[in-house]
Structure 1
Amino acid sequence: MQRNTYVSAAAAVVLALGGPVAAAATAAAAPTALTAATAARADVTAEAAAQAALKANPGVIESLDRDGAVWHVDVVSKDGTHSELEVDAASGSVTKENQDDDQKADDYASLLAAKVTAEQAMKTAVAAHPGKVWSVEWDDDDDNGRAATWNVEVKTTDGKTQNVHVDTATAKVVSSDADDDDSDDGNN
């Protein structure tokens, strides 16, 4: 019984002294670990997500948007097959979520014939408003008499959200406006 008491006392001393040392070592390593995790998360930009999606599923991007830890990417192939993909924002891995084989190329004729791709529209938008692309979407809704455009959302370096409309034939900015509500919507 006395032997167990000595062993227990020795274990308590080791834990008491080892605990603060381990905690200090962990605290010292935490900024490095946090920085590495943050760097990994920041590695997959909209442009990188677009490349990963097109490598996994060749075609033309119809839309791309960031939702928390994933990029949602819609890709249309030359035959009109519409695929919904997810690209992990930390690793860049691609998962096919859904595929619609019932569509025909005619349904996406204007998108497939566009001279300016989503990738080019993103470059144009960031050149006009430096920052990070958060989403890009094809818009051929001609309710307002306007030709098709790429709608690109850019989180600018000054913390604002800029909505940039890029012409699908010339890659020029047609219009842009800042969101009135620049609050963080949780989609970091």
Structure 2
Amino acid sequence: MKRTPYVPAAAAAALLLAGPAAAQAAAGPAGAAVRSAPAAAHPAAARADVDAAAAAAAALKKYPGYVESLDQDGTVWHVNVVGKNGKSNSEVLVSSSGAASRANQDNDQDAGEYKTLIAAKVAAAKAMKAALAAHPGKVVSLDWDDQNDNGVADHWSVQIKPAKGATRDVGIDATTGKVVPADSGNDSGDDGDNG
């Protein structure tokens, strides 16, 4: 009796696109059953969506210092990290799998420019956590702000996308971790005071 190798529909489609040589290689010896590759070998299965907190942690692991800002562009997070000495500034890219790579670095910074960020009692991770506690959703961006906007000095501006509704800006005091008036200059136009 002749056996026919079993090929799952997804594998068959892949083999069809790859051509006859790939189909023959995948079939193996005559009569051998073809098994699909483990899930980790498939890029779609290996992808893990990284949230803002995980992106910040991955960036700091790659380049220790202080997160100054982060935002997501498609599946890639752009995390701006100020070095521990305040004299360097790096843009770290974090992929959807959590892999971090340095995009560029400037080692000629004025350390005084970042002294309030470095001295802040509430770091980026704690600011995101406080913003999400006040307004559940997903953090889509975070920015350090020491420009005394809205009469509030040294705060974080956190942009949150709730499960339903418009993106909102949430201000977090850099000393107390409490919600303060948000910077109205962010993209969403929502001042964070409603709902």
Normalising by structure 1, report the TM-score: 0.72
State the partner residue of 2:95: 88
- Runs of 4+ residues deviating >2 angstroms: 21-26, 36-42, 142-146, 175-181
- Three-state SS of the structure 2 residue aligned to 1:154 is strand
The CA distance in 1 between the partners of 2:77 and 2:57, in whole Å, is 12
Deviations 1:52-82 (A, max 9, x none): 0001100000001011110000001121211
Matched, 1:111 2:117: yes
2:175 is matched with 169
Q: Where does residue 129 of structure 1 map in the other structure?
A: 135
Q: 1:163 to 1:39 in 2, by over 3 A?
A: farther
Question: Which of 30, 37, 48 in structure 1 is aligned with 2:44?
Answer: 37
1:158 aligned counterpart, secondary structure:
coil
Asked whether the 8 Å contact 1:71–1:87 carries over to 2, the reply is: yes
**Which protein is richer in helix relative to its size?**
1
Q: Which residue of 1 aligns with 2:80?
A: 74
Q: Does the 8 Å contact 2:138/2:161 carry over to 1? A: yes
Deviation at 1:180, TM superposition (A): 5.6
The equivalences for 1:148-187 within 5 A come to 148-175=154-181, 179=188
Higher strand share: 1
C-alpha displacement at 1:108, in angstroms?
A: 0.5
Aligned to 1:49: 55
Runs of 5+ consecutive residues of structure 1 not aligned to the other structure: 1-17, 27-31, 182-188
Q: Secondary structure at the residue paired with 2:85?
A: coil
Percent identical across equivalent pairs? 53
Deviation at 1:22, TM superposition (A): 3.9
Displacement, 1:105? 2.0
Does structure 2 conserve the Cα–Cα contact (< 8 Å) formed by 1:66 and 1:135?
Answer: yes
**2:188, 2:11 → 1: CA distance?**
44
Please name the residue that 1:8 is paired with. none
Query: Structure 2 counterpart of 1:84, which letter?
Result: E
TM-score (norm 2): 0.70
Q: In structure 1, how many angstroms separate the alpha carbons of the residues matched to 2:121 and 2:66?
A: 11
Partner Cα distance (1:145, 1:86) in 2: 33
Q: Answer 1 or 2: higher relative contact order, Cα 8 Å, separation at least 6.
A: 1
Structure 1 contact 87–95 (Cα < 8 Å) conserved:
yes
Q: CA deviation at 1:145?
A: 3.5
Query: Which runs of no fewer than 5 residues in structure 2 stay unpaired?
Result: 1-5, 14-38, 191-195
Alignment pair present for 1:138 and 2:129: no
